[in-house]
Structure 1
Amino acid sequence: MAFAYLQAALNARKREGLLRQRRIIDSSAGAMIEVDGQHFLSFSGNDYLGQRQDIAVMQAWVEGISSYGVGSGASPLVTGHTRAHQQLEEFLASGLKREAALLFNSGFAANQAICQALANPNLCILSDKLMHASFVEAAKHCDGTYKRFRHNDIDHLTTLFASSNRQAPQQSQANIQDYLIATEGVFSMDGDLGRLDELHKVAQQYDAWLMVDDAHGMGVLGKTGLGSAEQLNLSQSQVPILMGTFGKGIGTSGAFVAGSQVLIDYLVNFAKHYVYSTAMPPAMAMATYASFQSLADGVKQQTLTQRIAQFRQLCLQTGVPITDSQTAIQPIVIGDPVKCVKISEDLKQLGLWVTAIRYPTVPKGTDRLRITLSASHKHTDIDAFVDALVIVLKRYQVLTHD
């Protein structure tokens, strides 16, 4: 029978406890979601600052619809690039101290576009082992060489340069090749930070470019919410390619790439994911701009920081096995996909929504509860959540101590 492997692959996933299924969210308000008529306190989303339902953001969306309609109507190079898009790009470029910025419909599209547009036989991409799948898939299939260094392992990265016969510029100008080092500002499954200060020094030593995917840092990190580059004061020369998304801490949707004018002009001309896609709705651009403006005072970021500290302190006191993450992403590694799903379901019985993340999203043997905290959570929400974690994890002998 034609395409019989489709059902066979699904059956195999189910046997291994790895089958993915969607759940319909009927409504959401703050940190609460409704599923099948039941209400849950959610610890699984990426809306770290509660911006999806911020009044100023929603009002900007409505005003954008009034001015431009619900869609852009065309690709950016036809009639889809509006004053609203331009305003957001100029704001990002100025705030991040870059020459220019370019909007994309998603972080997936932005990462794909970077790899596709820059690809050539002389390109060598060296990325952190835990880079997001959107980048990994693009890098694997681009016209060039692709290697991965162990997570946050600077020494391993330098050995990859050595194995590529790359010498520091002061030693040799032979075998000149374009090198791109890629990492994340905040890693999506572990919540730890990329070693950006050290990586940009390696990049300078070997005349390479450093790219940072700051999807999970945007909005949350930095004095005004402009992410890792703002927090560490990393210039355009230190991070020539900066990618960020709006669908997490900013609360809207879409993404951007920021860098030199030459880089952005090149992407406008050669990035197929930009050239041949309908532009994001202008109303979305207006809502995104409004979200950045509302986060500039840092109040919601301070609330999130307090919730993270509270959660971590309670977990350490009660034996809930957390990692060293200091960000809103607080994984509890279970290590077994079946047990992980059972724990997730038991928490739902207590009115708490925590998604089980399994292979291939994370490496085998690191199946986990990917807990995410938000400024929308109240102090009492965190207390109740940790109490529930203790009850459920104790059943499965996961606590580090009683």
Structure 2
Amino acid sequence: MADPGGGALCNGTLHNQSASDCHRGNCWKNGVVKESQQNGNSNFYKPFVESFEEAPLHVMVFTYLGYGIGTLFGYLRDFLRNSGIEKCNAAVEREEQKDFVPLYQNFENFYTRNLYMRIRDNWNRPICSAPGAVFDVMERVTDDYNWTFRFTGRIIKDVINMGSYNFLGLAAKYDESMRTVKEVLETYGLGVGSTRQEMGTLDKHKELEDLVAKFLNVEAAMVFGMGFATNSMNIPALVGKGCLILSDELNHASLVLGARLSGATIRIFKHNNMQSLEKLLRDAVIYGQPRTRRAWKKILILVEGIYSMEGSIVRLPDIVALKKKYKAYLYIDEAHSIGSVGPTGRGVVEFFGIDPRDIDVLMGTFTKSFGAAGGYIAGRKDLVDYLRTHSHSAAYATSMSPPIAEQIIRVMKLIMGLDGTTKGLQRVQQLAKNTRYFRQRLSQMGFIVYGNEESPVVPLLLYMPAKVAAFARHLLERKIGVVVVGFPATPLAEARARFCVSAAHTREMLDTVLEALDEMGDLLDVKYSRNRKSARPELYDEMSFELED
């Protein structure tokens, strides 16, 4: 494999780091980051403010009690189904396979048919318009308690979209600015019909890759047709048996799947917890592989830029310092952060003023801020050249559609100002303003809101499953579309609504949503905040952290 870091990996030898090794004089302490350089600008200073307030005790008690009661009724209904008293609509084993190992019968299936089905109407709602600041929803009803749905033929018009990852508002219906996309469609058609390694590399792909490398200020980049597969199919090409992956506990499923497919040893560190990560790094360097005690072939740290369920931002300066100290590689997934944070929308690397060369593997997707599809891997040229040969996605997956590539090129030029305007920069700045306004107002109202104050992903904690369903249903009646999330995507007792702020949202739209949320908070009694310090930030405090045995 190519050496994406450009240096020797620490094979069992602990390298000390002096004060002069700090990245260009950077220092970080007690949640404050100071940078001496940020894309050419000196004396960059940014506070790192995140909130993870804990819920009052009675809320957690009632949450677990609600799940307990739901589970008891679930067992009762399963008994009625097995007795033939109640019809079973869930997938069941075939009679001739009743003595086989069960294919469907597990706890997740029990949860789905007895708890999820009660509130299933809050997910998979069909949209029949572009996912802009407002969209249209197809109304549907159920006659069998959410097992099936039928459409009424009515369209709910102009629903305020607070759920799509349309951060810059560039996923919109056709207008004259998309003329080049239409021209590419007329010239190239929709499909490519081949993989990148065969006959699927177009001049548009090369143009896009050069532009991505320029945008990120790296040597080279490679694009892929699917964002999820960018992680899951490329991580196995970078590491394998005899390698160690250190993964944040809240990493996206694509990172988790890629790590598992690689065959490497995986160890999990606490979310954004540098002491937990350093302990794993130190142990890996000192003890090496289990049983044999041989040095690890590679040590790869997997993190995200913005964590989509928590709204938190990676503590990148700290991780860069650790990866340098222990000579590990760093792979960062900027799916949610590229285009949405940083003074010019270049993600968390720019947000913290980190030199892109300090990140071994830069990954991102075009599905959020760029209003398109696909993903990229960027970094050193030898890394990208290696992936062109060894990536499963390059070898087996169909290439990116030409109109999609042109859409990404159009948006990236807009953000970079290569279109001769400042419209892209204005969108990035408007997103930052909307994010801070929305988060501050929610906190002032008394809601528990997770994440970093600069993150456009805004989780609002609801906890109780019944309130999750009522919250989404009542807001849709007010023509506000939200995403609600629960187990297994979150911990069992931390169900939430997840808002995605967009640059396309006007202040009037946000005020309309906030007014409705204020009413819903009082109606459902979900204003749980007591402005009390959370237990989670204490994990980040060097003085209070105790290493596990």
- Structure 2 regions of 5+ residues with no counterpart? 1-92, 139-154, 289-293, 417-421, 531-549
1:163-312 pair list within 5 angstroms: 163-166=283-286, 175-296=295-416, 297=422, 298-312=425-439
Which whole-Å deviations, capped at 9, do the CAs of 1:257-304 have from their partners, x for residues lacking one?
A: 001122112211111122111101122111101101112331001111
Give the equivalent residue in structure 1 for 2:125: 23
Give the equivalent residue in structure 1 for 2:40: none
CA 1:391–1:163 in 2, change beyond 3 Å: closer, same or farther?
A: same
1:54-73 pair list within 5 angstroms: 55=175, 58-73=178-193
CA 1:5–1:236 in 2, change beyond 3 Å: closer, same or farther?
A: same
Give the equivalent residue in structure 1 for 2:171: 52
Question: What SS does the corresponding residue of 2:300 show, helix, strand or coil?
Answer: strand
Choose which of 343, 363, 370 in structure 1 pairs with 2:491. Answer: 363
CA 1:363–1:143 in 2, change beyond 3 Å: closer, same or farther?
A: same
Tell me which amino acid in the other structure corresponds to 1:12.
Y
CA 1:122–1:5 in 2, change beyond 3 Å: closer, same or farther?
A: closer
Which whole-Å deviations, capped at 9, do the CAs of 1:219-265 have from their partners, x for residues lacking one?
A: 11234322222333433441010001111011111100001122112
Q: CA–CA distance in 1 between the matches of 2:176 and 2:339? A: 15
| Structure 1 residue 14, shift from structure 2 partner | 3.1
**1:90 maps onto 2:90 in alignment:** no
Question: What SS does the corresponding residue of 1:343 show, helix, strand or coil?
Answer: helix
- Structure 1 regions of 5+ residues with no counterpart? 169-173
| Structure 1 residue 128, shift from structure 2 partner | 0.9
Indicate if the aligned counterparts of 1:96 and 1:230 stay in contact, CA closer than 8 A.
no
**1:14 maps onto 2:113 in alignment:** yes
CA 1:57–1:252 in 2, change beyond 3 Å: closer, same or farther?
A: farther
Choose which of 454, 460, 484 in structure 2 pairs with 1:332. Answer: 460
Question: What SS does the corresponding residue of 1:164 show, helix, strand or coil?
Answer: helix
**1:392 maps onto 2:520 in alignment:** yes
Indicate if the aligned counterparts of 1:57 and 1:287 stay in contact, CA closer than 8 A.
no
Kindly name which structure, 1 or 2, has the bigger radius of gyration based on alpha carbons: 2
Question: What SS does the corresponding residue of 1:109 show, helix, strand or coil?
Answer: helix
Q: CA–CA distance in 2 between the matches of 1:247 and 1:383? A: 27
1:110-129 pair list within 5 angstroms: 110-129=230-249
| Structure 1 residue 5, shift from structure 2 partner | 4.0
Question: What SS does the corresponding residue of 1:23 show, helix, strand or coil?
Answer: coil
CA 1:300–1:16 in 2, change beyond 3 Å: closer, same or farther?
A: same
Give the equivalent residue in structure 1 for 2:135: 33
Q: CA–CA distance in 1 between the matches of 2:253 and 2:413? A: 30
Indicate if the aligned counterparts of 1:44 and 1:353 stay in contact, CA closer than 8 A.
yes
Q: CA–CA distance in 2 between the matches of 1:122 and 1:398? A: 48
Indicate if the aligned counterparts of 1:355 and 1:370 stay in contact, CA closer than 8 A.
yes
Indicate if the aligned counterparts of 1:320 and 1:390 stay in contact, CA closer than 8 A.
no
Question: What SS does the corresponding residue of 2:311 show, helix, strand or coil?
Answer: coil
Tell me which amino acid in the other structure corresponds to 2:115.
E
TM-score (norm 1): 0.92
| Structure 1 residue 324, shift from structure 2 partner | 4.3
Q: CA–CA distance in 2 between the matches of 1:284 and 1:60? A: 11
**1:321 maps onto 2:321 in alignment:** no
| Structure 1 residue 119, shift from structure 2 partner | 2.7
CA 1:27–1:366 in 2, change beyond 3 Å: closer, same or farther?
A: same
Tell me which amino acid in the other structure corresponds to 1:25.
I
Indicate if the aligned counterparts of 2:372 and 2:404 stay in contact, CA closer than 8 A.
yes
Which whole-Å deviations, capped at 9, do the CAs of 1:28-59 have from their partners, x for residues lacking one?
A: 36311211211211100000111112746632
Q: CA–CA distance in 1 between the matches of 2:209 and 2:352? A: 21
Indicate if the aligned counterparts of 1:242 and 1:258 stay in contact, CA closer than 8 A.
yes
| Structure 1 residue 325, shift from structure 2 partner | 2.6
Q: CA–CA distance in 2 between the matches of 1:127 and 1:401? A: 31
| Structure 1 residue 152, shift from structure 2 partner | 0.3
| Structure 1 residue 77, shift from structure 2 partner | 1.5
Q: CA–CA distance in 2 between the matches of 1:55 and 1:304? A: 21
Q: CA–CA distance in 2 between the matches of 1:7 and 1:145? A: 30
CA 1:317–1:224 in 2, change beyond 3 Å: closer, same or farther?
A: closer
Q: CA–CA distance in 1 between the matches of 2:342 and 2:207? A: 21
CA 1:55–1:191 in 2, change beyond 3 Å: closer, same or farther?
A: farther
| Structure 1 residue 11, shift from structure 2 partner | 5.0
Question: What SS does the corresponding residue of 1:52 show, helix, strand or coil?
Answer: coil
| Structure 1 residue 177, shift from structure 2 partner | 3.0
Which whole-Å deviations, capped at 9, do the CAs of 1:161-187 have from their partners, x for residues lacking one?
A: 23324489xxxxx72531001111111
Give the equivalent residue in structure 2 for 1:171: none
Which whole-Å deviations, capped at 9, do the CAs of 1:330-378 have from their partners, x for residues lacking one?
A: 1101122332122111111111111111112122211100011111111
Q: CA–CA distance in 2 between the matches of 1:208 and 1:401? A: 40
Give the equivalent residue in structure 2 for 1:372: 500
Indicate if the aligned counterparts of 2:302 and 2:330 stay in contact, CA closer than 8 A.
yes
Q: CA–CA distance in 2 between the matches of 1:104 and 1:29? A: 23
Choose which of 224, 245, 251 in structure 2 pairs with 1:131. Answer: 251
Indicate if the aligned counterparts of 1:44 and 1:372 stay in contact, CA closer than 8 A.
yes
Question: What SS does the corresponding residue of 1:90 show, helix, strand or coil?
Answer: helix
CA 1:167–1:89 in 2, change beyond 3 Å: closer, same or farther?
A: farther
| Structure 1 residue 155, shift from structure 2 partner | 0.3
**1:152 maps onto 2:272 in alignment:** yes
| Structure 1 residue 27, shift from structure 2 partner | 1.5
CA 1:279–1:383 in 2, change beyond 3 Å: closer, same or farther?
A: same
Question: What SS does the corresponding residue of 2:197 show, helix, strand or coil?
Answer: helix
Greater shift in the superposed pair: 178-187 or 310-319: 310-319
CA 1:57–1:202 in 2, change beyond 3 Å: closer, same or farther?
A: farther
**1:345 maps onto 2:479 in alignment:** no
Tell me which amino acid in the other structure corresponds to 1:371.
F
CA 1:359–1:68 in 2, change beyond 3 Å: closer, same or farther?
A: same
Tell me which amino acid in the other structure corresponds to 1:293.
K
Question: What SS does the corresponding residue of 2:192 show, helix, strand or coil?
Answer: coil
Indicate if the aligned counterparts of 1:211 and 1:241 stay in contact, CA closer than 8 A.
yes
Q: CA–CA distance in 2 between the matches of 1:197 and 1:22? A: 38
Which whole-Å deviations, capped at 9, do the CAs of 1:126-145 have from their partners, x for residues lacking one?
A: 01111101111221232111
Tell me which amino acid in the other structure corresponds to 1:321.
I
